[in-house]
Amino acid sequence: MTTAIETNYSQMCYDLADDLNNRWKVDAIESSNHFYHKLEVEVAKKYVKIWVSHVPFKGDSKLPSRSIWMFVDKTNGFCYKPASTKAPAKGVRFGLYQLLAYPETCDKFGSFLYRR
C-alpha cells in the first residue's frame, strides 16, 4: 500500500510541475524574456526532488542552470524548503494538496517556502 501512496504523491508532483511549467512559459513569452523557468521532477529514495532550470529560448547557446526548488515527502506529501541539494530544511512549509489547489502560490524562485 505504501508504494501506491508514494506513486500518487510522485504523480501529483509531475502534475504540479506541468501546470507551473505551462504558466511560466506563457508568462515568459508574453513578457519577451530570453529564458523561462522549467521544473523537473526527480523521484529519490525518501523525497521527490523538484528542480528548477533556467532554460533559454532558441538562439541562446548557454547551457541551462539547475538548482533544487523543493522537496516533497513521498509518505505524506509535505513540502520542504531545500537546505542543500541532498536534504530539506527542517519544518513543513506546505502540503502538496494546498499547492495543487492554489498553484498561484508558487513562484519561480521558491520564496513561498520561506517562513513568515
> What SS3 class is residue 39?
strand
> What SS3 class is residue 73?
strand
39 backbone dihedrals φ, ψ, rounded to 5°: -90, 140
H helix or E strand, kind and range, residue 13: helix 2-30
Q: Give the total number of structural domains in the chain.
A: 1
pLDDT confidence band for 52 (50 / 70 / 90)? very high
pLDDT at 61: 59
Q: Comparing 19-33, 52-66, 96-110, which segment has the lowest mean pLDDT?
A: 52-66
pLDDT at 18: 96
Residue with cell 542552470: 65
Q: Are 50 and 69 in contact (CB under 8 A)?
A: yes
Provide the domain limits for residue 21.
2-113
